[in-house]
Amino acid sequence: MSARPDTSSEAAGRDARSRRSESRRVGGWAEHHRWSASASLGRLLGRPFGTLMTVAVIGLALALPLAFYLLLGNVQRMGDAMGQRQAVSVFLKPGQGDAAAQLLAKSIGERADVSAVTVKTPQQGMDELAAMQGFSGALHALDDNPLPYVLQVMPKDALDAGAVQDLVTALRDERGVDMVQDSGSWRQRLDALLGLGNRIVGVLALLLSLAAVLVVGNTVRVDIAGRVEEIGVLMLVGASGPFVRRPYLYAGIWYGLFGGVVASLVAVAIELSLLAPVERLNAAYAGKLSIGALPLWLLLATPLAAALLGWVGARLVSAWQLRRVA
């Protein structure tokens, strides 16, 4: 009688061989990635002038939207400091006393679109006029104070120009209000300009990102064209498309990464070059201007985004070129 084969041992052996084969395949794949990354970097460093030119073009192209973003953000801050959200002046009718002014101020301050209300008395208004050059002599000739109570209403920072205009309309309808003074038209023009600027920055970033993709793609195309015979031999001995293409994809990543680093450095250099004039401007406005820099997350994300753009450019061109070689 023959012994029954141990099927469980055979199955276990097959599983072990399968795991070893999968492990070798993954190890080979990872090893080729490491080799492709280092080999492509070595090729770039082997031709420093050409690499530097390509990286500089990518870096300057990506630095432009960063510079415009910096400019636009600081225009927004300057608008805030110079009156984009300045208070709305509510002039009460003559004869309104302190009790009526305080009651109206409390009522307005409870609105959801108002952050603060300040009551300015007629005497405070007279003191401000007296401090102005040329008014003190004329004020001494007055028998009584003709100025009314004035409420300084500060809208919420989150309100846009339309919401502020709605607030002004509501204030004009309040009982006891004689006149409301607002710079809404100036606010609307600034908001429109900032909206246009945001759109321009977005379009510019898209176009220059496309330019970076094209620059990397053209550089990789030239590199592949110079290695047609080597690629042909690899494909004849059975190399797959991803195997052949991988070093060029890493080259695109390196180009984009280095270009993104240059873009961030150029943006920081622009910020540093503006420090001195910004300090003088801030001093001229008694320290009211809040000039900001580019956020750190944007400076760190730029090289990563540029590396992705480089990979896209290399991927598109290498696939097209390798189809021609095959």
In the three-class reduction of DSSP (H, G, I as helix; E, B as strand; rest coil), residue 88 is classed as strand
Per-residue pLDDT at 96:
82
Q: Domain check: are 95 and 47 in the same one? A: no
Q: Is residue 151 part of a domain?
A: yes
Range of the domain at 150: 87-182
CATH number of residue 163's parent domain: 3.30.70.3040
> Do 76 and 91 sit in the same domain of this protein?
no
> Amino acid letter at 218?
N
Distance CA 113, CA 103 (A): 18
Which stretches in the chain have pLDDT values below 50?
1-2
Best CA proximity match to 293, nearest among 272, 311, 309, 310: 272
Answer whether residue 29 is part of any domain: no
For residues 108 and 239, membership in a common domain is answered with no
Counted domains in the chain: 2
Q: Check residue 210 and give its pLDDT.
A: 92
CA separation (Å) from 307 to 39, 55, 259, 313? 17, 11, 8, 10
pLDDT at 267: 92
Domain-terminating residue out of 132, 162, 182: 182
φ/ψ of residue 149, rounded to 5: -70, 145
Give a yes or no: residue 281 inside a domain: yes
So what's the pLDDT on residue 300? Answer: 94
Euclidean distance between the first and the last CA atom of the chain, given in angstroms as a whole number: 60
Label the pairing between strands 114-120 and 177-181. unpaired
154, 182, 210: which is the final residue of a domain?
182
Task: Please state the pTM of the whole predicted model.
Answer: 0.67
The pLDDT tens digits for 42-78 are 989 988 998 999 999 999 999 999 998 888 877 777 7
At 1 the pLDDT is 45
